[in-house]
A and B are shown apart, each in its own frame.
Chain A
Amino acid sequence: MPDEKVVPEEPERWSTWTGRARGWMLKRLPPDRLLPEDQPSYVASWIYVFGMGAIASLVFVIGSGIVLALNGPAWYHVSALGHFVNSAHLWSVELLFLTMVVHLWGKYWMAAWRGGRALTWMTGAISFFASIGAAFTGYLVQTNFDSQWIAFEAKDALNAVGIGAWFSVTDLGQLLTWHIVLMPLAVGAIVALHVLLVRVHGVVPPIDAAESDAQLGGSAAVTVAEEPPTAPRPVTESAAAAEPALVAHQEVAR
């Protein structure tokens, strides 16, 4: 049976920019690492769940937001279904921030920027701040007295720093464009990059993991062992027997 594993060719062999781009991507993120079937044993902990919880919440935010946007910003005032979808949008945002903050706390206390993961950490922080910006513009498109009050309080601050002419919080049309087009594109792009970087470097191991741990994939393994990066592999009984650190991690995970 032929080996189906994709082996990236040498960059010198590519003659076009598309080929070079493909080689660059295959080298850093081969398909088995982009869509892995297994994760290291230390990922079997609830603290590793909240990143995916945030992404699931974001899917609900975008889905309910699309329905609201297609029906117009005033729809939920006059429709029971609109009111329900608007509430689903609000509560999925609440869940997004709740899970994102617990994810942030977990990654902060395990120093998740270790092992060449600085860019992963930075994109996570940027996506957090971009999400706050998206939520703020959401407050401004409620088409009620609450949004009017917020807009007329905010405009003075924005005018004071000289950007009120370009970012007018009292202009519903402009704010709607920011909220349903620009900010979702920004958040989506940054979150996608964040997830791809997690795939490239692997999930950050526990802070007390031994440097010789065979499960340390990605750039951390390269730094420690001077070997090519390998995708995190599942723990087997034989591997656990050969590597006591794996047993320790399994015990921690349990």
Chain B
Amino acid sequence: MIPPLLAAAADPVGSGIFLGWAPITISIGNFIVIVAMVVLFVAALFVPFLHDRDE
């Protein structure tokens, strides 16, 4: 049996959660970042830009 300390050192960030659709597999972290980029891109096109008060 592997000692807990050695097991933690060998897998410092955990195995993570993976999503899968047929041949596609992606970690939940990467999936969140990609979704965030798409949301930001779409929002950047449609959200009104800030303007000065005197404008």
Contact = CB atoms under 8 A, between A and B. Distances in A.
Interface of A: 44-47, 49-50, 94, 98, 101-102, 105-106, 144-146, 253-254
Contacts, number: 42
Contacts of B12: 144-146
Nearest to A254: B48
A66 B40 CA distance: 30
B44 A98 contact: no
B1 to A, nearest CB: 18
B3 to A, nearest CB: 14
Interface in B2-52: 9-13, 33, 36-37, 40-41, 43-45, 47-49, 51
A94 to B, nearest CB: 7
With most chain B CB atoms within 10 A of its CB, the pick from A44, A46, A145 is A46
A106 B51 contact: no
Contacts of B47: 46
Given A44-B49, A253-B49, A144 B9 contact: yes
A237 B12 CA distance: 60
